[in-house]
């Protein structure tokens, strides 16, 4: 781990020294600031616990947030010199091993730095460096294991799917369930569903159509789920993996008339144009249930500052919640923040579609495409509360306020019981809802 970080620092320094100044005075002045910024960033990237504990008073939370917003405003106004000057002052006050505010501000600072550089810069890829597939997978699995974040989404969705399946048995679905998952993501969601379906003791057929980012991901997902399903003799399991680029083929996915069709839109929500086409195809299938899980932090107006502020509030809560799950000096926490959450932060800040206008909410979009909200059962709520109770964390204990809390996490109903939300303290992180045609 230490050797890897040292190699990264040497790579950064070599790239920094490769800056070539231009005879033009203005360019030379700008590049001088870039050089200085690369230097202070290198110091920030060093995983020095003593440094993170000994940061100056200007490393306090409110001051850091204020400084970050000044930089974001300068970037929005295209005042890059001011943004660079303030970033030079900000980097020495943050740390990847500091408190949750210092850590989240460090990642947002990197995102703003990359936006200033633009993809044309030779240093853009250095700041936006993508973690390897293995690093991303390990970070995802760590977050899945230590935090209720993903488990809340998956368990809530699965409970709603099971209830729709059981209801359809009254009208003869031949005990056949077809789940169409638009973000199969290594299939972490489905072992619990497989296990639940098999507990009835009766023969069940489960067909899973999963859309993934790569053939490798889909092959790993199939191997893992098929192997798991073999342990249940009363379950017939079939997996079909498709690349996301082929999602238009969904209209041909309903092959059997007497089966329950469930559509899983968990963390699939990307942009409205793509989702509009997806929902048209989904509606044509006449599914028994559509599960929607959306990450909070999506304002109606997608201008840069509005999106930036919403995302900052959201990720600040996520980083803060990790202090309740893992100790501050944990390398596992560092992996989650650097290779998963940090990647999302930088992608958000540098998204090409950041300034698009967004027409209403996801709820509005579902209703415009002919879907109506379904009330989630009390079982979904009870299960979510139980999930929080069994996840006891001791690193940052917080006083509980009522039965819905576990440390800083809490579960609450929204939209008159048609949605269930996971929150951290006073901030909503996720909302799960169920829909029908």
Domain boundary assignment for the chain? 26-48+60-129+303-350, 147-300+360-394+407-436
Collapse the DSSP code of 49 into the 3-class scheme (helix H, G, I; strand E, B; otherwise coil) and give the result.
helix
> Residue 204 above 80 pLDDT?
yes
Is the CB of residue 259 less than 8 Å from the CB of residue 164?
no
Cβ-based neighbours of 25, under 8 Å, separated by 6 or more: none
Per-residue exposure over 146-155, b if at least 16 CB sit within 10 Å of its own CB, e if not = bbbbbbbbbb
Listed range (123-132, 133-142, 168-177, 400-409) with the worst mean pLDDT: 400-409
In terms of DSSP bridges, do strands 260-266 and 289-295 run parallel, antiparallel, or are they unpaired? parallel
> Residue 300 above 70 pLDDT?
no
pLDDT tens for 44-99 read: 988 766 666 666 555 578 899 999 999 999 999 999 999 999 999 999 999 999 99
> Residue 23 above 50 pLDDT?
no
Collapse the DSSP code of 259 into the 3-class scheme (helix H, G, I; strand E, B; otherwise coil) and give the result.
coil
pLDDT tens for 262-294 read: 999 988 665 555 777 788 888 988 899 999 998
* CA-to-CA dists, residue 31 to 68, 125, 147, 383, 409, angstroms: 21, 17, 42, 55, 45
Is the CB of residue 91 less than 8 Å from the CB of residue 105?
no
**Which position has the token pair 């003791």?**
201
pLDDT tens for 212-224 read: 888 999 999 999 9
* CA-to-CA dists, residue 194 to 140, 169, 199, 242, 289, angstroms: 21, 17, 9, 20, 18
Q: When comparing pLDDT for 245 and 436, which is higher?
A: 436
Q: When comparing pLDDT for 33 and 154, which is higher?
A: 154
Q: How confident is the model at residue 206 (pLDDT cuts 50, 70, 90)?
A: very high
Model pLDDT, residue 377 = 94
Query: DSSP secondary structure string, 125-141?
Result: HHHTPPPPHHHHHHHHH
Model pLDDT, residue 154 = 95
Element (H, E) at 83: helix 80-90
Model pLDDT, residue 296 = 79
**Which position has the token pair 């690193």?**
395
Listed range (25-34, 335-344, 354-363, 427-436) with the worst mean pLDDT: 354-363
- The CATH architecture that domain 147-300+360-394+407-436 belongs to is 3-Layer(aba) Sandwich (3.40)
Question: What's the average model confidence in pLDDT over 133-139?
Answer: 93
> Residue 113 above 90 pLDDT?
yes
Q: Select from 157, 85, 75, 65 the least CA-distant residue to 111.
A: 75
Q: How confident is the model at residue 353 (pLDDT cuts 50, 70, 90)?
A: low
Average pLDDT, the chain: 83
Q: How confident is the model at residue 248 (pLDDT cuts 50, 70, 90)?
A: low
Q: How confident is the model at residue 403 (pLDDT cuts 50, 70, 90)?
A: very low
pTM for the complete prediction? Answer: 0.85
> Residue 18 above 70 pLDDT?
no
Listed range (27-36, 70-79, 163-172, 242-251) with the worst mean pLDDT: 242-251
Q: How confident is the model at residue 253 (pLDDT cuts 50, 70, 90)?
A: low
In terms of DSSP bridges, do strands 372-374 and 427-436 run parallel, antiparallel, or are they unpaired? antiparallel
pLDDT tens for 187-197 read: 999 999 999 99
> Residue 22 above 90 pLDDT?
no
pLDDT tens for 315-329 read: 999 999 999 889 878
């Amino acid at each position: 781990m230490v050797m890897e970080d040292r190699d990264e620092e040497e790579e950064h320094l070599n790239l920094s020294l490769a800056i070539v100044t231009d005879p033009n005075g203005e360019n030379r002045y700008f590049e001088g600031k870039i050089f200085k910024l690369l230097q202070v960033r290198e110091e920030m990237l060093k995983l020095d616990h003593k440094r993170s504990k000994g940061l100056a008073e200007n490393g306090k939370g409110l001051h850091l947030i204020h400084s970050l917003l000044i930089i974001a405003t300068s970037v929005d106004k295209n005042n890059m010199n001011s943004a660079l000057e303030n970033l030079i002052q900000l980097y020495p006050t943050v740390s990847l091993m500091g408190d949750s505010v210092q850590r989240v501000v460090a990642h947002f600072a990197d995102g703003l730095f990359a936006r200033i550089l633009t993809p044309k810069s030779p240093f853009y890829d250095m700041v936006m460096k993508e973690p390897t597939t293995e690093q991303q997978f390990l970070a995802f699995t760590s977050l899945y294991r230590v935090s209720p974040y993903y488990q809340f989404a998956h368990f809530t969705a699965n409970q709603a799917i099971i209830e729709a399946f059981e209801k359809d048995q009254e009208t003869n679905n031949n005990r056949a369930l077809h789940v169409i998952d638009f973000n199969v993501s290594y299939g972490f969601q489905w072992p619990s569903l497989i296990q639940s379906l098999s507990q009835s003791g009766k023969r069940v057929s489960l067909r899973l159509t999963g859309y993934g980012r790569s053939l490798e991901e889909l092959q790993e997902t199939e191997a893992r789920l098929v192997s798991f399903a073999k342990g249940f003799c009363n379950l017939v399991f079939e997996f079909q993996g498709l690349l996301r680029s082929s999602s238009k083929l969904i209209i041909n996915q309903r092959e059997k008339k007497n089966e329950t069709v469930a559509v899983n839109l968990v963390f699939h929500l990307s942009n409205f144009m793509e989702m509009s086409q997806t929902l048209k195809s989904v509606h044509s299938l006449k599914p028994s249930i559509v599960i929607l899980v959306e990450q909070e932090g999506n304002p109606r107006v997608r201008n840069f500052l509005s999106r930036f502020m919403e995302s900052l509030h959201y990720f600040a809560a996520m980083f803060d919640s990790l202090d309740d799950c893992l100790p501050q000096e944990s390398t596992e926490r560092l992996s989650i923040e650097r290779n998963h959450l940090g990647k999302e932060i930088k992608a958000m800040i540098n998204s090409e579609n950041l300034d698009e206008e967004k027409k209403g909410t996801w709820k509005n979009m579902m209703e415009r495409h002919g879907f109506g909200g379904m009330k989630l059962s009390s079982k979904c709520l009870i299960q979510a509360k139980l999930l929080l109770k069994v996840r006891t964390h001791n690193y940052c204990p917080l006083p509980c306020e009522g039965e819905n809390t576990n440390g800083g996490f809490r579960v609450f109903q929204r939209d008159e019981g048609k949605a269930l939300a996971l929150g951290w303290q006073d901030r909503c992180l996720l909302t799960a809802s169920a829909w029908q045609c």
